[in-house]
Amino acid sequence: MRKYFSLIKFSHTIFALPFALLGFFIGIHSEGGGFNPRLFVLVILCMVFARSAAMAFNRFLDRDIDQKNPRTAFREIPAGIIKPRAAFFFAIGNSLLFVITTWFINPICFYLSPVALAIVLGYSFTKRFTVLCHFVLGLGLALAPICAYLAVTGHFALTPLLYSGVVLLWVSGFDIIYALQDEDFDKTMNLKSIPATLGGRQALRLSRGLHILCATTVFATAALAGKAFPELGWLSWAAAGIFSASLFYQHTLVWRYDLSKINLAFFTTNGIASLVFGSLMVLDFYL
């Protein structure tokens, strides 16, 4: 189990999970219903199954690329810890479990489950033909709040869609930062990424622009959510402020194209930002 948890980087589930929980609780309060433990567990399982499938499939598809990249050659498949066939069937198994779980939620989640899988699995192909791969990854994680909302309500709404937009801008921006590590390798392998196409410094500028737009969106959404849900108070504004501050902080770590602190910027800062934001937003509904 440890090998497979490492393969899919299970700890990184924290990036999108708080936003999924936010979508879940927005759904509860928009419908005026109570907390449903069974539905809550099903939403968490969907999140875990979809992400596990996506990560395992990505590692399977990129196994030859990872083997040639000194930064990734130690990963489970190129290192021989997990066989490619086993990773592929692990991805298929989690995909099936995801679809089966949506069946027990509601019809719209079940009918849209292939679309969600197409996005999260399809990301793995995109770096071979488009620089928009960062945005496809962002879109995959951006499904979390709106899909959790759909699980509760069975219909779309503006507020969770805007929070999905926040995730899209946030993840796309920090994935561009993360891709700076492979700028030269991507050029050698003819892989498409924004750093490889625009150069590192231009890529950083684009990432900053996306995160400025993300911060603007998170404050605008807080204002809209405050009107839609009168029970929300100062904690939602504090959440928006802390989240935006974390975006600024991660750019100070790579301000002059110094990649020595990129793991701190990517993993630690974003993980804390997501957890704090989601926790404060959910607490605001009840406090």
pLDDT band at residue 173, thresholds of 50, 70 and 90? very high
- Quote the CA–CA distance of 55 and 50 in Å, as a whole number: 9
Exposed, middle or buried by CB within 10 Å (0-12, 13-18, 19+), for 246? buried
Q: Residue 8 is which amino acid? A: I
Q: What is the pTM of this model?
A: 0.94
How many domains does the chain contain in total? Answer: 1
Average pLDDT estimate for 170-196: 95
Nearest CA-CA partner of 26 in 171, 218, 162, 119? 162
124, HSE (Cβ side, Cα atoms, 13 Å):
20
What share of the chain has pLDDT > 70, as a percent?
Answer: 97
Average pLDDT estimate for 115-121: 97
- Quote the CA–CA distance of 211 and 257 in Å, as a whole number: 17
- Quote the CA–CA distance of 145 and 163 in Å, as a whole number: 7
Phi-psi region of 143 (alpha: psi -120 to 50; beta: other; left: phi over 0): alpha
Q: Which residue has the higher pLDDT, 231 or 213?
A: 213
pLDDT beyond 90 at 97: yes
Specify whether the CB–CB gap between 108 and 154 falls below 8 A: yes
H-assigned helices in the chain: 2-7, 17-31, 37-61, 63-68, 84-103, 107-126, 133-153, 158-179, 183-189, 194-198, 200-228, 234-253, 262-263, 270-286
How is residue 261 annotated by DSSP? T
**What residue has token string 């930064």?**
71
pLDDT tens-place string over residues 40-84: 999 999 999 999 999 999 999 999 999 999 999 999 999 999 999
**What residue has token string 């991507």?**
186
Specify whether the CB–CB gap between 87 and 60 falls below 8 A: yes
For the chain, state the CA radius of gyration: 19
CATH of the domain at 252: 1.10.357.140
Q: Which domain holds residue 261?
A: 2-286
Average model confidence (pLDDT) across the chain: 92
Exposed, middle or buried by CB within 10 Å (0-12, 13-18, 19+), for 189? middle
Please state the length of the chain.
287
- Quote the CA–CA distance of 256 and 99 in Å, as a whole number: 44
- Quote the CA–CA distance of 60 and 54 in Å, as a whole number: 10
Torsion of CA 254, 255, 256, 261, to 10 degrees: -20
pLDDT band at residue 10, thresholds of 50, 70 and 90? low
